[in-house]
Amino acid sequence: MSKTAPSLVDTLFEAHVKHEVAALKGAKLKKFLEQEVDELLGYAEKVPLGRLISPEQVMGVIKRIAVNMELDAGIPELAAEMAAEVLKAPVQADTTLGEILSREQASGFIEEALELRQQRERIISEIMAHPVYQELVSNVVYHGLVNYLYEDNLITRSVPGVGSVMKFGKKMANKAVPGLDETFERRIKAWLAESLPGLIVRSEQFLHRALTDDELRDSVMAAWVSLENQTIAELQDGLGEVELQEFVVLGYDFWLNFRKTAYFEGCARAVVEHLFAKYGDRPVMDLLNDIGVTREVIVTEIAELGLPIIDVLHKEGYMEALVRRRLGSFYKSAAAKKLLAEG
């Protein structure tokens, strides 16, 4: 039994598929994509950003992707695994801190930090005013004073036996006058309560005088010099995988909560509104140029990443199947059959 000859529609369809598949390979595909990049960039030279997309559309993307997207619990686990592998990589033991951040760069960061004088003074003032710090100062002064009076003053250190006599006398006095220790303690603490505000003020004034730009610069640079020749592995000594995983989990939990805050939304909106205030009425190409996305960058990434992926898709049969799906509906349509019949 003889096979039925293919119809004209089928013959044209197969020829068209063959043509398109061949055009999506090798040099032909590379040339085609480069031409399309040029076409798109030509439009980017004329079309303003605000015509393509609005600030609310960008905010919508941020909300859907960054805020509302459900994140699988496996994400922090995977992140912790990758971080652990990074810490175990041989490069950690072969690289010094100074190779990553030069002394000149470190000095530049320090100089910028030193410009934050108001913030530094505010931090010092807030620490001084904190009840925990004030209690610490009070306890240190109290115990130092008591220790000095009974054990560590010049007389007890210089004259043998005086310290023992003073302790003995203290015990006898307590027997003769019960509660003398408590009275003494109350009076010292009452004196400290009156004197503490002045001590705190003087402490703050001392720190402001001592922590000058020159002093801080010298201290931090001295610390840097002592660290710059150590390897990254040496610097991270003591940070085990367990601690690292805990940090990753904490960071993940923080992000889940932070992304839902009004603060995050406000920051995102400020960035988006500034972007459109600056580029909304300007051609898209202005924005691309300012962030370094040139034709050369796009074409290079297409060649290095896009073409190899498409080549794999060809070998897997996906590209031909895609062409057949795209063209098949047309060649099976009544309009195509009518045109071919009329021809």
What are 284-333's pLDDT values in tens digits? 999 999 999 999 999 999 999 999 999 999 999 999 999 999 999 999 99
Average pLDDT over residues 57-74: 92
Q: Strand, coil or helix: what is 212?
A: coil
Residue 4 confidence class, pLDDT cut points 50, 70, 90: low
- Asked which of 120-124, 220-224, 229-233, 315-319 is least confident by mean pLDDT, the reply is 120-124
CA of 260: how far to CAs of 66, 251, 268, in Å? 9, 15, 12
> Based on the number of CB atoms within 10 Å of its own CB, is 80 exposed (0-12), middle (13-18) or buried (19 or more)?
buried
pLDDT at 46 over 60: yes
Residue type, 340: L
Beta strands in 145-235 (DSSP E): none
- Asked which of 83-87, 138-142, 149-153, 264-268 is least confident by mean pLDDT, the reply is 149-153
Question: Residue 43 and residue 24: Cα distance in Å, rounded?
Answer: 24
Question: Residue 154 and residue 136: Cα distance in Å, rounded?
Answer: 26
Average pLDDT over residues 55-82: 91
- Asked which of 14-23, 154-163, 266-275 is least confident by mean pLDDT, the reply is 154-163
Beta strands in the chain (DSSP E): none
Tell me the pLDDT tens digit for each residue of 97-127: 999 999 999 999 999 999 988 888 888 888 8
Phi, psi of 96 (to 5 degrees): -90, 160
Residue 6 confidence class, pLDDT cut points 50, 70, 90: confident
What pTM was computed for the model?
0.73
Kindly state the tokens that stand for 30. Answer: 């590379």
Phi, psi of 161 (to 5 degrees): 90, -15
